[in-house]
Amino acid sequence: MKISVLGSSALLAVASILSSVPTTFGHIAMSFPPGQAGPWSNDPSNQVHAWIGFEGKKFPCGGYKRGPVTTLSAGQMVPVRFWNFNIHNYKQFPPPKGTAQARHGGGACEFSLSYDAGKTWHVIGQYTKSCPDIYYEWPVKIPSNVPSCSDPDKCLFSFSWTAFATNQFYHHCANVKINGVKNGLLPVLPMKVVDVKQLNQKMNVHALGQGSDSKGNGPDARQVKLNLSEFFACKGPAGKTGLDLGLVSV
């Protein structure tokens, strides 16, 4: 896996942002693969953990500039990790006990690939109820039959989350390169997008969750097995349906 390194100017910018953010900022962003606009990037933002629509935050990905580039391969397991501003050393995992997080009682997470800079999304993993949670890794598999994608401005790995306790949709993206297979195929399950006013959607959808902001139970064992199989691959059992995300309209 190849991850770019912060320069000294970026480190100063990160320090400035962290010093200005209250420790109650416990919303969640993706730290591995390292997402755009996090403290590991050259263009950090103190809104990286916020929901789509917050102060004009755009879909897809938040509208951020290109971040660090991670190289992934077909068939590879990706141990997705999460982070928030209460974790001052983003390289530390798991975070210190008692680290606060605003996971809104959990909800439904999807992990997706885009090969066209976010115009279309292909789901490669799903977790329900207990996701996200900064204390756990959330393993997903790059399907073994995906094609290669060599342009990190177009190739994206994304985390999306429909929360339980509030009608909010979160979307965070990492720039990637993918070493795939000749004549490869992308999964056919589209990413579920809700609660995005920019797309003329009402903010009236939440997902079933665990109901607590504290450390949860982590990934469901059955769902881990599915996410590490070829369940979401093109021609896999997920098809265009996938798991029941437990979405509720109010």
- What integer best gives the mean pLDDT of the chain? 90
- The answer on pLDDT for 245 being more than 80 is yes
SS3 content of the chain, % helix, strand, coil (to 5): 10, 25, 65
Question: Domain spans of the chain?
Answer: 8-249
Do the bridges between strand 29-32 and strand 107-114 make them parallel or antiparallel, or are there none, so unpaired? unpaired
pLDDT by residue (tens digit) across 121-150? 999 999 999 999 999 999 999 999 999 999
What the block records as the tokens of 86 is 């209460």
Q: One-letter amino acid identity for 131? A: C
The terminus-to-terminus CA distance of the chain in angstroms comes to: 42
Token code pair at residue 108: 């439904």
Question: In 66-126, where does DSSP find H-type helix?
Answer: none
- Joined together, the tokens standing for residue 87 give 């974790």
Q: Give 6's pLDDT tier (boundaries 50, 70, 90).
A: very low
The model's pLDDT over 167-176, given as tens digits with 9 standing for 90+, comes to: 999 999 999 9
DSSP 90: T
Q: What is the pTM of this model?
A: 0.89
For residues 123 and 112, what is the distance between their CA atoms, to the nearest angstrom? Answer: 4
State the CB neighbour count (10 A cutoff) for residue 37: 25
Q: Say if residue 36's pLDDT is above 50.
A: yes
Q: Which amino acid is at 88?
A: H
User: What percent of the chain lies above the pLDDT cut of 70?
Assistant: 90
Residue entry with tokens 């265009």 = 240
Q: Could you tell me which CATH number the domain at 8-249 has? A: 2.70.50.70
> Mean pLDDT lowest for which of 52-66, 187-201, 210-224?
210-224
Looking at residue 25, what is its pLDDT? 56
| Polymer length in residues for the chain | 250
Integer CA distances (angstroms), 84 to 10, 99, 124, 208, 236, in order: 18, 9, 24, 22, 34
Q: Evaluate if residue 21 carries a pLDDT over 80.
A: no
d(CA 5, CA 48): 19
DSSP letter for 105, please.
Answer: T
Q: What is the predicted pLDDT for the residue at 19?
A: 36
Mind listing the pLDDT tens digit for each residue in 63-114? 999 999 999 999 999 999 999 999 989 999 999 999 999 899 999 999 999 9
